[in-house]
Amino acid sequence: MSSQSIEIHETAFVTSTFRSLNEDLSRDVYAKLWNNAETNAWIEEYLKEVCIEEVTAHCLRNRFFLEEIEKLKPEVLINFGCGFSMYPFLLDEAIINIEIDKEEIIDYKKRKIEEFQKQGKLPVKKIHFIGVDFSKDYVDILLEKLHLLKEGKTSFILVEGVLFFLSRKDTEKLFDFFSKLQSKDDYIGSASFQEELKSSKAFKKLLDFFNKKVAKTKASDWQTIEDDFYIKNRSYTVVNHQDFFSLSKKYNNIVKLERDLILNENFYILKKIV
């Protein structure tokens, strides 16, 4: 993690709530299970002070990755930094689902999903949960666990809502790990922001909001990733690249704000070539 103090888990409830606010667009009918009054109040302020398009942006992201996974039909879905996403319950039952995040998130998510299933709010589905401390040397132990679960099957690794919070060193370590884990013709789905974001009015509003509500941060605390990071990876090739605007066009979303007022996230599908 970078030195700034905003943790990934503090955004998990917010992201799931965003997805629940337009189920027709996100196709996530279970996200609302994570909704709570405290997050709802926080979101109301956030949308007013930062960007009203954030609901649509998160719904578009969920919809894009969901439909890409459906199209590519991997045998195993490995979700790094899974938060409270609900892909296992939205995808084909035959897919093996492996959810990976910080231990406190995984423990909470596993417990709550078991509660939802007992209450009949979720279908019963086997999910492999793995808690990891990404700041430690996790590679060898996690690689062994995942190889045992993967058993040579085709895989799709999803990493969304994570890279913005990581250092470049940790990100490179993560993608090296993916390359060791995956076989030729496997896929990665990745979400990240580009450097131009930091000169936008939307990003200034985001910083102001977090500085007021959460913790003091500066622009350099947040990681942006240019296309070259993906294009120059020798193990993968980019087979699909979208952003908020291209997905809005695809899914008939009418963009309400000018470009400079939108936190434009980029989405990539990478195919392993070696």
Largest CA distance in the chain: 48
pLDDT tens figures, 3-62: 344 444 567 899 999 999 999 999 999 999 999 998 999 999 999 999 999 999 999 999
Residue in this structure with the two tokens 């700034």, named with its chain if needed:
4
Q: What is the dihedral of CA 58, 12, 238, 253, to 10 degrees?
A: 0
What are the structure tokens assigned to 91, written together? 């995808």
pLDDT score for 137: 84
102 C-beta neighbours (distance < 10 Å), count: 20
What are the structure tokens assigned to 259, written together? 């470009």
What are the structure tokens assigned to 205, written together? 């509003």
User: In this structure, what DSSP letter does residue 220 have?
Assistant: G
Cα–Cα distance, 34 to 58 (Å, whole number): 15
pLDDT tens figures, 152-202: 999 999 999 999 999 999 999 999 999 999 999 999 999 999 999 999 999
- Residue 69's nearest CA partner among 155, 128, 179, 147 is 155
In one-letter notation, the amino acid at residue 62 is N
Q: Could you tell me the pTM of the whole model?
A: 0.94
C-alpha R_g of the chain: 18
pLDDT score for 64: 98
pLDDT band at 133 (very low <50, low <70, confident <90, very high): confident
- Residue 203's nearest CA partner among 4, 13, 211 is 211
pLDDT band at 213 (very low <50, low <70, confident <90, very high): confident
